[in-house]
Structure formats: C-alpha cells, structure tokens
Amino acid sequence: MIYKDTIERRPWEIRITHHAFLRAMERGITPEMVEAVIKSGRIKKFGKNMIKFVGKYKRGKVICVGEKKEENRIKILTIEWG
C-alpha cells in the first residue's frame, strides 16, 4: 500500500501528519497497520480534544494519537507502540 494522508472513519475524516508518518516508519509500523488501527481500532478519548486509536498486534499495541480539529476532522500527531 502507498502512504495515504487521509483516512475515512465515520463520522470523521482523519489526516495523518508527515511527522506521524515518519515516526511510524522509524518505529517499524507499516502504513497497513496504521490504516487498520484507524479504521477498526478501539477509540479512547482523553483531555478536551485528544483521541487515541488503539489496535493490538503480536509485538504490542499500535497507538495513533490525534487531535480533534473540527467536529468531523481529526489530525494524527504521532504513532507509537504501546
């Protein structure tokens, strides 16, 4: 799969920043894993505007940390192992 910077998950449009993509590659997290976690992972809200998408893999949890920018848009700021 080629890197996509926008992923749909109703009701949101989720944009992945270049920084988050670089961190994912640096940590050995593939674009396929990121897309799967965002599309079907568990959602955890924290703080006023922050949100996490969490998915489990053999190596651990993949966590995509994002910020709600508007009512229907989320910007992923970083991607990490948990």
- Looking at residue 68, what is its pLDDT? 95
pLDDT at 3: 62
User: Does residue 44 carry a pLDDT above 70?
Assistant: yes
Beta bridge partners of 78: 65
Question: In the chain, at which residue ranges do the beta strands (DSSP E only) sit?
Answer: 6-9, 12-16, 42-46, 50-57, 60-70, 73-81
Averaged pLDDT, 14-33: 95
Quote the pLDDT of residue 70.
Answer: 87
> Does residue 38 carry a pLDDT above 80?
yes
Q: Can you give the CATH number for the domain in which 61 is found?
A: 3.10.450
Verify cis geometry, omega within 30 degrees of 0, for the bond prior to 31: no
pTM: 0.92
Secondary structure (3-state) at 2 = coil
Give the model's pLDDT for residue 2: 54
Q: Would residue 28 be called left, alpha or beta, if left means φ above 0 and alpha means ψ between -120 and 50 degrees?
A: left
What domain count does the chain have? 1
**Residue 3 placed within a domain:** no
Residue 77 lies in a domain: yes
Residue 13 in any domain: the answer is: yes
